Structure 1
Amino acid sequence: MTDKAQLASKKQRSNLVNVGRITTVFGVKGWLKLHSNTEPPEAIFDYAPWWLKTKHGVKEVEIDAGRPHGNAFVVHIKGLDDRDLAREYCQVDIAVERDQMPELEEGEFYWHQLEGLNVISEYDGQTFRLGQVQRLLETGANDVLVIKGNADSMDQNERLVPYVPGQFIKSIDLDAGEMIVEWDPEF
């Protein structure tokens, strides 16, 4: 592969967003079970191609069949008909290119857009740097931000802040890479 091709490939991979995860093999003919992170879950099948983030690098695959199975899905990768070969894809993230994601309405955000934002709390008339959004957790009532302290924050603590715009989330500025929250830094 030429340097130019490697650079183009790297640029393309850096544009990927995780939309699910292959969990285990299913049956003996190369089928795989997966968990979808899309909303609704079956929307994962609206994207193609899928990029699998394997331990050997990122690999493009084509899905030729898929269906619901319990609270997850089972899929078949075109040309993969062996259970033992399919096992190599277990515990692998499924990604798609960002430009395939539908446009959101004003004030709506994808989780991948929130991850990495610096979080500042304006609480009780004071300003506190809490850290960066590491990930989000899905709960029954609302999603929760997992914020981890960094070199610029008031401490190195991890905080869980409910993602409730208008109540705890005051503003999000993707261009500035910041989120303003109203959260007691003692929590």
Structure 2
Amino acid sequence: MSEQAERIELNDHVVLGKLTSPYGVKGWLKVYSHTSPMDGILEYPEWVLRQGTALTRHRLLQGRRHGKGLVALLEGVEGREAAEAMAGAEILLPKSALPGLPRGDYYWHQLEGLVVATREGEVLGRVSYLFETGANDVLVVKGDPEGEPPAIDDRERLLPYLPDEVIVEVDLAAGTMTVDWDPAF
């Protein structure tokens, strides 16, 4: 696969989790999941695994909760040595395989990269990433005065993801998010 074809393929995928370490001697692997609920990752019958630049496809043969985490058995991974070789691989899924969401709900990967501006049109920056807290999700918005469009400063801001309070509008087609936020905060 050419580097360009690989890049195109990767842009069509989202990272769902990671294989962390072998579990037992029969090829099972511990799984760290980014899905909510955690075991939602086990609902996808085929995973694309990325190790460095290598991409491989594996059918999920079995998966289950184990203690506070998950374990999985993948087609073609037989024995502890094979599982050790897979440890650290990211689990990717085609974005097209994700279930549709109700209007006004978004996957995190859809929000990352959006230009964030106040109601008054002041550009705060772009959504770099999100993280979860007990109360609500948080957007990490990084300003870049040299960016396109230029932000008002180079600050990093943490904005609570609170639709209808802080988040006024999300326009995926335009790549923008309008917020009710004081830039000085």
Q: Given the two structures, how large is their TM-score scaled by the length of structure 1? A: 0.88
Which has the larger displacement, 169-178 or 81-90? 81-90
Tell me the CA shift for residue 55 of structure 1: 1.0
- Consecutive unaligned residues in structure 2, runs of 5 or more: none
Kept after mapping to 1: 8 A contact 2:58/2:76: no
Tell me the CA shift for residue 43 of structure 1: 1.7
The alignment's C-alpha RMSD in Å is 1.9
3-state DSSP class of the match of 1:44? helix
1:130 aligns with 2:124: yes
Tell me the CA shift for residue 34 of structure 1: 1.0
Evaluate the alpha carbon distance shift between residue 42 and residue 166 of structure 1 in structure 2; reply closer, same or farther with a 3 A threshold: same
Tell me the CA shift for residue 7 of structure 1: 6.1
Give the Cα–Cα distance (whole angstroms) in 1 for the partners of residues 48 and 86 of structure 2. Answer: 11
**1:13-162 matches, cutoff 5 A:** 13-122=10-119, 126-150=120-144, 151=147, 152-162=150-160
Give the Cα–Cα distance (whole angstroms) in 2 for the partners of residues 170 and 43 of structure 1. Answer: 29
Q: Counterpart of 1:13 in structure 2: which amino acid?
A: L
Residue 166 of structure 1, aligned match among 164, 170, 174: 164
Evaluate the alpha carbon distance shift between residue 18 and residue 129 of structure 1 in structure 2; reply closer, same or farther with a 3 A threshold: same
| 1:76-106 per-position Cα deviation (integer Å, ceiling 9, x unaligned) | 1112123233223323321111111111111
Tell me the CA shift for residue 33 of structure 1: 0.8
| 1:112-166 per-position Cα deviation (integer Å, ceiling 9, x unaligned) | 10011011123xxx43211111111011111001111122111221111000000
Kept after mapping to 1: 8 A contact 2:49/2:92: yes
Kept after mapping to 2: 8 A contact 1:13/1:58: no
Tell me the CA shift for residue 12 of structure 1: 3.3
Aligned residues with identical type, % of pairs: 40
